[in-house]
């Protein structure tokens, strides 16, 4: 998946078109579909108008993409978790703990394995400092980079301008709205009046106006963000918990299926995978839940 604003909109249009195509040409009862490979010949013969392979369909509908947060204190521990996860996972998040402990060399393993990197540094400082940090981060070949929308107009514009000078390999700037660990009371305690959703919308509008490519928000606000700002931005949703999992410090949580239906492009999952006794199985269970939700979406 290429994380571009246009890409996100394009994918959604493609997905809608595919859903329509599938509904218009349901497989004949005797047709069997191979989920792992392409459609059966019988299916293709009976459904000539369906000109795509099942693999393409799966790839296009396996949205949003899963990002595993490698929240570990050292490269060694992050590497251990990484080695226990399915190769199918393309995206990894490196956050404050690991990056502060190990610095840029920690990205090397992921780059060697051709994985995409979400560098979640949540930059929040004066515009000049953020612009310089953005340029430095861009030099590490990461795909997504976070800044805090609370940094305000000048800072957000400085971040957006900084990546323009980098060219094609520039990361997408993703603005964090309100942390998923924040509740209504937490917001009140730091002097923000009104509803969380209003604060998220306010910050989202500011960030997109200033040139951010996407937003981080909880699932509670995902739908309203899509309604207000459309498809032309990347929506990253953390606070994902499979049914029955511990929420930890996260307050605004949802299952992968709910987040998918709310319009997320990326689901960020940390502890439910990396703290599991079997991270491989935990990741697979989430991928499975996402695949099932995608199936339900097209009524398979
Ligand atoms: O372990 P858990 O699934 O709660 O991890 C979520 C990850 O997403 C953490 O690495 C956290 O830093 C990050 N995140 C978040 N809320 C945001 C932005 C990022 O939880 N608003």
The answer to whether residues 129 and 265 belong to one domain is: yes
Atom of ligand 1 nearest to the CA of 93: 10
Largest CA distance in the chain: 64
Q: What pLDDT, on the 0 to 100 scale, is given for residue 135? A: 96
The answer to whether residues 147 and 170 belong to one domain is: yes
Does any domain span residue 172?
Answer: yes
How far apart CA 17 and CA 9 sit, in angstroms, is 12
The answer to whether residues 227 and 174 belong to one domain is: yes
For this structure, is 111 an active site residue?
no
Range of the domain at 154: 62-297
The answer to whether residues 157 and 107 belong to one domain is: yes
Q: Which of 180, 181, 246, 250 to mutate to test the pocket of ligand 1 (most atoms within 8 A of CB)?
A: 180
Count of beta carbons in the 10 Å neighbourhood of residue 232: 15
How far apart CA 81 and CA 280 sit, in angstroms, is 9
Does any domain span residue 223?
Answer: yes
Q: Whose CA is nearest to atom 17 of ligand 1?
A: 179
Does any domain span residue 99?
Answer: yes
The answer to whether residues 13 and 102 belong to one domain is: no
CATH value at residue 90: 3.20.20.70
The answer to whether residues 174 and 67 belong to one domain is: yes
The answer to whether residues 229 and 80 belong to one domain is: yes
Q: Whose CA is nearest to atom 13 of ligand 1?
A: 238
Query: Is the C-beta atom of 238 inside 6 A of ligand 1?
Result: yes
Q: Which of 99, 270, 279, 283 to mutate to test the pocket of ligand 1 (most atoms within 8 A of CB)?
A: 270
Question: Rg of the chain's alpha carbons, rounded to an integer?
Answer: 20
The answer to whether residues 247 and 284 belong to one domain is: yes
Give Cβ neighbours of residue 198 (< 8 Å, ≥ 6 apart). none
The answer to whether residues 24 and 117 belong to one domain is: no
Does any domain span residue 12?
Answer: yes
Contact 274, 68 (CB under 8 A): yes
How far apart CA 35 and CA 39 sit, in angstroms, is 8
Query: Is the C-beta atom of 250 inside 6 A of ligand 1?
Result: yes
Q: What pLDDT, on the 0 to 100 scale, is given for residue 35? A: 27
Q: Could you tell me the pTM of the whole model?
A: 0.81
∠ CA 140-143-149, rounded to 5°: 100
Query: Is the C-beta atom of 214 inside 6 A of ligand 1?
Result: no
Cis geometry, peptide bond prior to residue 31 (ω within 30 degrees of 0): no
Atom of ligand 1 nearest to the CA of 71: 10
Number of domains in the chain: 2
Options 122, 169, 227, 228, the catalytic residue: 122
The answer to whether residues 125 and 41 belong to one domain is: no
Tokens representing residue 261 in the block: 């239906």
Q: What pLDDT, on the 0 to 100 scale, is given for residue 298? A: 62
Does any domain span residue 2?
Answer: no
Contact 159, 213 (CB under 8 A): no
Contact 122, 176 (CB under 8 A): yes
Element (H, E) at 266: strand 266-269
The answer to whether residues 105 and 215 belong to one domain is: yes
- Distance (angstroms) between ligand 1 centre and the Cα of 125 equals 20
Q: Which of 68, 71, 73 to mutate to test the pocket of ligand 1 (most atoms within 8 A of CB)?
A: 71
Chunked mean pLDDT (size 10), the chain, 300 residues = 52 50 36 29 33 39 84 97 98 97 97 98 98 96 97 98 90 96 94 94 98 96 96 95 84 90 95 97 95 76
How far apart CA 171 and CA 139 sit, in angstroms, is 9
Question: Which of 115, 109, 147 lies closest to 131, judged by CA?
Answer: 147
């Amino acid at each position: 998946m290429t994380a571009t604003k246009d890409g996100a909109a394009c994918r959604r249009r493609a997905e809608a078109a595919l859903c329509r195509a599938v509904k218009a040409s349901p497989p004949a009862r005797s047709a069997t579909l191979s989920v792992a490979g392409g459609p059966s010949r019988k299916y293709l013969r009976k459904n000539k108008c369906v000109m795509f392979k099942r693999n393409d369909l799966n790839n296009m509908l396996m949205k949003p993409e899963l990002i595993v947060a490698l929240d570990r204190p050292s490269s060694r521990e992050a590497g251990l978790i990484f080695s226990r996860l399915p190769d199918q996972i393309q995206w990894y998040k490196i956050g404050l703990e690991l990056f502060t402990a190990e610095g840029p060399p920690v990205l090397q393993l992921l780059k060697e394995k051709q994985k995409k990197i979400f560098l979640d540094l949540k930059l929040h400082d004066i515009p000049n400092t953020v612009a310089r940090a953005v340029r430095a981060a861009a030099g590490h070949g990461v795909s997504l980079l976070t800044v805090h929308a609370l940094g305000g107009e000048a800072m957000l514009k400085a971040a957006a301008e900084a990546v323009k000078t980098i060219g094609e390999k520039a990361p997408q700037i993703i603005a964090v709205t309100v942390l998923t660990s924040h509740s209504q009371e937490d917001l009140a305690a730091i002097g923000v009046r009104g509803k969380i959703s209003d604060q998220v919308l306010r910050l989202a509008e500011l960030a997109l106006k200033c040139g951010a490519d996407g937003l981080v928000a909880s699932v509670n606000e995902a739908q309203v963000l899509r309604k207000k700002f459309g498809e032309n931005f990347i929506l990253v949703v953390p606070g994902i918990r499979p049914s029955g999992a511990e929420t930890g410090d996260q307050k605004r949580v949802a299952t992968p299926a709910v987040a998918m239906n709310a319009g997320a492009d990326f689901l960020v999952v940390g502890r439910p995978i990396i703290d599991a006794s079997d991270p491989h199985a935990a990741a697979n269970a989430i991928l499975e839940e996402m695949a099932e939700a995608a199936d339900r979406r097209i009524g398979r």
